[in-house]
Chain A
Amino acid sequence: MSASSPSPQIIIVGAGPAGVRAAQTLVEAGLRPIVIDENRRAGGQIYRQPPPGFVRSKKELYGFEAAKAEALHSSFDQLRPSIDYRPDTLVWNCMPGHSGQLDLLHAQRHATLPYTHLILCSGALDRVMPFPGWTLPGVYTLGAAQVALKAQGCVLDGRVVIAGSGPLLYLLAYQYAKAGADIVAVLDTARFGGKLRALPTLLRQPVTFAKGLYFMGWLRAKGIPLLDGVEQIAASGQQTIQNLRWTRGGKTTEIACDALATGFGLRSETQLAELAGCRFVFDELNQQWLPQRDDAGRSSVPAVYLAGDGSGIAGADAAELSGRAAALALLQDLGLPTNAAAKTAAEQESRRLARTLRSNLQFRQGLETAFPTAVHWARNCADDLVICRCEEITAGQLRRSVQQEGTVEINRLKAMTRVGMGRCQGRVCGAAAAEILAHATGVSVAEAGRLRVQAPVKPIPVSAALAAEEQT
């Protein structure tokens, strides 16, 4: 499409750091994008705003990141009159083609929306690695524990253990402790040795690195036990979690607790990119199939762009940059700006953004060394461990399908066992299932294949379909 064509209908999905900066860039170029967001207020997960009526200071909510949160929120507030903003709206399907179309759900009603250009900023979700007791009430993901704090201003009640790996571990512990939570232990499944090895790359972003060290120092000063190299965590209890057990250096410890927040890094939410027809490649760094994108965020499908954590985890700062980069690429593809000097400036900025994003990626590689995903998890998990909580499928059932039915591919595993066939459609359990399959068949996770996505991305009520059908 060229600048002289009928006006493009540009849809940005997601109003987190990537989506907001993409929208801002398009508005600056005189365009009026549609911004669809599943949340009721802009900011995404990291800069999530409390519901209207809750009053908490940005400093309380976002700590070190308060200034960035403030900047993003105020940018978005300024954009509001210049965009078509659709909050509280789920994009549950994308039908690509010459006349691309999104299926939406808002206020229990269905709607469709055509697009000429799409910028997907679909964000991320906690990486879940099942362990004994992970489905007990009182066990939360780190992300969910943080949402409770940011959106509702509350913390998990009683004695809280925070366990897992990744930078969010210490951040959440810090935020929770500051908010008055009773943290009885912070358990890191990574080893300090790994962190030292990663030091040279981590120092590429000294500020981020320093924040991590600050959180750890602060927590120690408050007398909160921080343990690294923790293995084999297991929750137990009657109705809810009551105890948490782990081993460290060959020694088993068990403590009483009332809640557990746990997470092992993040996973990109890639469903819409897949439904949009994007080509996927297995990404070793993320240990996940990701939609292919160039430096600027162009996907393999013309007019579909990718930005933020939804196409590879890189964090909030990178998301803001990649949102802008994707919007600049889109403008360039539209033949904008037309003015030669402005065009050169835009091209220069695109190159600068690409360089910064690449350097950021190296930092991310450093983080992966410091907080490696527990690759040996699949080997150790017991046969009776539930992997797919929606369909109640255990690791043993998955292994039996491999042994008795000769299953070697993840979609066949789904067909044979129902793993990933429930309400979450594999968003939560898909990675763990692929790791079990890969381990049981002796291949890499990449070779185990990619779990195909079907609409809806999240469940939709039949009543919404009926209302839509009455309108036609």
Chain B
Amino acid sequence: MSKTTDKVIDTDVAIIGGGLMGTSAALELRRQQRSVVVLEQGWCGAQASGVNYGGVRRQGRAACQLPLSQRAHAIWRRLEQTIGSDGEYIASGHLKLARSDADMQELIAYRDMAAAYGLELELLEAETLRRRYPWIGEQARGASLCAEDGHANPRLIAAAFARAAEQAGARLLQQSAVEEFGFDGNYFVLQNSRGERVRSRFLLNCSGAWGKEIAERFGETVSEQAIYPNMCVTEPLPPLMNLSLGVVGGAFYARQVERGNVVLGGGRGIGNLALDATRPRASSSFKALAALTGMVPALRNALVIRTWSGVEGETPDHQPVIGPSATTPGLLHAFGFSGAGFQLAPAVGEVLAELVTKGESSTPIDAFSIKRFAIQQASKQESKV
């Protein structure tokens, strides 16, 4: 039970969720002189934004995401000027491996599609691949290289965005879950668990796996389910993998960090939407380790020192929800990134700021409209009749 205070914090924009989407939007909005309050139920950047794999990757994204992803890429390249920290970001290159001829065909088709969006990929036949990266094992039949993709440390990046937003003048209310939602046709009034009330003209729903619940408060139905990516990390090892790895089919993704540890993802853990209620699964870790060592045999002798999971929101079409609400003027959504939001975040922040200040995005986001779920609902209803 929260205590109510008479205090009302007036702001141009209220943001629910202090992850990367919310804080990158807050930072950009402050640059455009808008006042911003971020309400975060836990600590800023402690959920999916801070515990994800850390892939800064365009390769492999659906065509509809590539314009946004390209925009994000440009921001990542000047990240240190943006947030005052490099967050261990490195444009190491991203290699997507093929295990069969069919996989290679898929990579070729993807390269041809991506070229139309200005994303250049280099296809490597097995022999070239192993000559260039002798640590890659026999299982690889070829690969597609995106030379400027890379990886970063999500723990540091998420915290750095929050700090940059705060230094730019955004107000961060942490340990501050929103308990009451109001909209009077013009203004949103939110009340948090500390009894504080925030009144704003705009409300940004940047709540990750909790985005669906927030949308429902405003009468919008979204098919979003929680997923729990499964992660492990080895002890620090001598330098071996100098780029980020993925594989067609997604059995694993792996990168070696500056310190020498190999961070590995693949499969799912378990959990629920309470804070810190996720668990990795040994069986998922084992499958990912088997897939990884199939491609990088030298890692067979490493030690695993930690496993973990986190919670992300996934939609049926694996595309995020970005853009204006279909029911409530001034409400903007950015959630449901389906396990692939980390790289996009800086561009999403800019797009949200554009939507607030100009009413439109300069990058196409139609594919991410929340309306697509309403249409699905309607067609389901019709088919029942």
Contacts and interface: CB of A to CB of B under 8 A. Distances in A.
A460 B159 CA distance: 30
A439 interface: no
A284 interface: no
Nearest to B44: A412
A358 interface: no
Nearest to B287: A469
Contacts of B287: 469
A423 B43 CA distance: 26
A452 B310 CA distance: 13
Contacts of B156: 416
From B43, B163, B282, B299, residue with most partner A Cβ within 10 Å: B282
Contacts of A423: 235, 303, 305
Contacts of A454: 280, 306-308
B290 interface: yes
A302 interface: no
Main secondary structure of the interface of A (DSSP, over half): mixed
A5 B126 CA distance: 59
Interface string B301-313: 1111111100000
Contacts of B285: 465
Contact of A415 (B50, B234, B304): B50
A126 interface: no
Given A405-B163, A452-B276, A461 B307 contact: no
A181 interface: no
B286 A456 contact: no
A459 interface: yes
B279 interface: yes
B280 A455 contact: yes
A103 interface: yes
Nearest to A463: B300
Contacts of B282: 93, 95, 103, 110, 112, 455
Contacts of A346: none
Given A415-B50, A421-B306, A454-B306, A462 B301 contact: yes
Given A103-B282, A415-B159, A461 B50 contact: no
Interface residues of A, number: 33
Contacts of B290: 465-466, 469-470
Nearest to A93: B282
B303 to A, nearest CB: 4
A409 interface: yes
B227 interface: no
Q: How large is the interface on B (under 10, 10 to 19, 20 to 34, 35 or more residues)?
A: 20 to 34
Interface in A419-465: 421-423, 425, 452, 454-456, 459-463, 465
B203 to A, nearest CB: 26
B293 interface: yes
Contacts of A459: 235, 303-305
Given A462-B300, A469-B286, A469-B287, A422 B305 contact: yes
B197 interface: no
B46 A415 contact: yes
A148 interface: no
B73 interface: no
Interface in B281-325: 281-283, 285-287, 289-290, 293, 299-308
B238 to A, nearest CB: 15
Interface in A386-436: 391, 405-406, 409, 411-412, 415-416, 418, 421-423, 425
A409 B279 contact: no
A466 B303 contact: no
A462 B43 contact: no
Contacts of A103: 282
Interface in B92-133: none
Given A416-B155, A466-B290, A425 B305 contact: yes
A466 B307 contact: no
A141 to B, nearest CB: 21
A318 to B, nearest CB: 32
A110 B155 CA distance: 31
Contacts of A463: 300-301
Given A454-B280, A455-B307, A412 B301 contact: no
Interface string B31-53: 00000000000010010001000
A456 B276 contact: no
Contacts of A112: 282
A147 B333 CA distance: 59
Contacts of B300: 462-463, 466
A425 B276 CA distance: 18
A355 B115 CA distance: 77
Interface string B259-285: 100000000000000001001111101
A38 to B, nearest CB: 16
B245 to A, nearest CB: 15
A255 interface: no
A342 interface: no
From B279, B293, B300, residue with most partner A Cβ within 10 Å: B279
A114 to B, nearest CB: 13
A418 B88 CA distance: 13
Contact of A465 (B289, B305, B306): B289
B384 to A, nearest CB: 36
Contact of A462 (B163, B280, B303): B303
A339 B155 CA distance: 58
Contacts of A461: 301-304
A456 B306 contact: yes
Contacts of A470: 290
Contact of B286 (A409, A455, A465): A465
A234 B282 CA distance: 42
Given A423-B305, A455-B282, A462-B301, A412 B43 contact: yes
Given A405-B163, A415-B50, A465 B280 contact: no
Nearest to A406: B163
A422 B305 CA distance: 7
A466 B289 contact: yes
A411 B155 CA distance: 11
A411 B46 CA distance: 9
Interface string A90-118: 00010100000001000000101000000
Interface string A290-302: 0000000000000
A462 B46 CA distance: 28
A416 B289 contact: no
A468 interface: yes
24 contacts: A95-B282, A110-B286, A405-B159, A412-B43, A412-B46, A415-B155, A422-B305, A423-B235, A425-B306, A452-B276, A454-B307, A454-B308, A455-B307, A459-B303, A459-B304, A461-B301, A461-B304, A462-B299, A463-B301, A465-B285, A465-B289, A466-B286, A466-B290, A472-B283
Interface of B: 43, 46, 50, 155-156, 159, 163, 234-236, 259, 276, 279-283, 285-287, 289-290, 293, 299-308
